[in-house]
Amino acid sequence: SQKIEQNSEALNIQEGKTATLTCNYTNYSPAYLQWYRQDPGRGPVFLLLIRENEKEKRKERLKVTFDTTLKQSLFHITASQPADSATYLCALTSGTYKYIFGTGTRLKVLA
Amino acid sequence: DTAVSQTPKYLVTQMGNDKSIKCEQNLGHDTMYWYKQDSKKFLKIMFSYNNKELIINETVPNRFSPKSPDKAHLNLHINSLELGDSAVYFCASSQTSPGQTGNQPQHFGDGTRLSIL
């Protein structure tokens, strides 16, 4: 069955460092991969989308990579700030209306 | 202006009752979704509607019945509520390009927290 795992349930890093979150998938051939941020008591908010034929995408301090051979996406936040603390979710779709979400990683940036 | 709004935000009810959750989006999107997020924060798709037509039904019990009166609304009715239905339910919407799906971001509401006593 299709499975998406994000590297760790929780990740603590020091302010100013780069946070790296991992999204691994099996039994799936996604056409698109998306990253979302979710704050407590709120719905997920879209951050970035990357296509299967793209290796890397950037937006301000955010960078996403997509390796279809390794079946993995990495999500980087450079110069992290306490305001970046949240849960980050990856989501995959093969081009249908069905999005499959990962288990999420709770990031905490320590001041 | 709230893009995707759900009501109510909290719903506390007894086992066996019937309840509804409403969702409205003012983004002009043509596709809407219902998701269930369990206590471990795992977000799982339940239904997807495109232009008021049911596209995805992810083996959800028949007690759950979505209804889309128009493209801007997708409501969820739940019959005979069970303890296992306790979760946060999220509505979302996205715009699909002709012949392409999945390449647009989803916009989520802030969820309805359902607690079954």
Query: Could you tell me which chain B residue has the CA closest to the CA of A106?
Result: B41
| Residues within 8 A of A (CB atoms), B 60-89 only | none
Nearest to B102 among A42, A46, A93 (CB): A93
Q: Which residues of B touch A49 (CB under 8 A)?
A: 103-105
Q: Establish, for the pair of chains A and B, how many residue pairs have beta carbons separated by less than 8 Å.
A: 73
Provide the β-strand partners of residue B77: B20, B65
Interface test with B, best of A99, A103, A105, A106 (most B CBs within 10 A): A99
Q: How large is the average pLDDT for residues B46-75?
A: 90
Mean pLDDT of B20-32: 95
Q: In terms of DSSP bridges, do strands B10-13 and B112-116 run parallel, antiparallel, or are they unpaired?
A: parallel
List the pLDDT tens digit at each of the 111 positions of chain A.
667 888 778 899 999 999 999 999 988 888 889 999 999 999 999 999 999 889 899 999 999 999 989 999 999 999 999 999 999 999 998 767 788 999 899 999 999
- B47 and chain A: CB distance < 8 Å anywhere? no
Least confident range of B2-11, B72-81, B90-99: B90-99
Give the best residue of A38, A64, A93, A97 to mutate against chain B (max B CB count within 10 A).
Answer: A97
How far is Cα A27 from Cα B18, in angstroms, rounded to an integer?
Answer: 37
Q: Which two tokens stand for residue B103?
A: 């390449």
Residues A99, B108: Cα–Cα separation, whole Å: 13
- A98-102, B65-69, B78-82: least confidently modelled range: A98-102
Amino acid at residue number B69: P
Q: Give CA separation, B82 vs A110, B17, B78, in Å.
A: 40, 9, 10
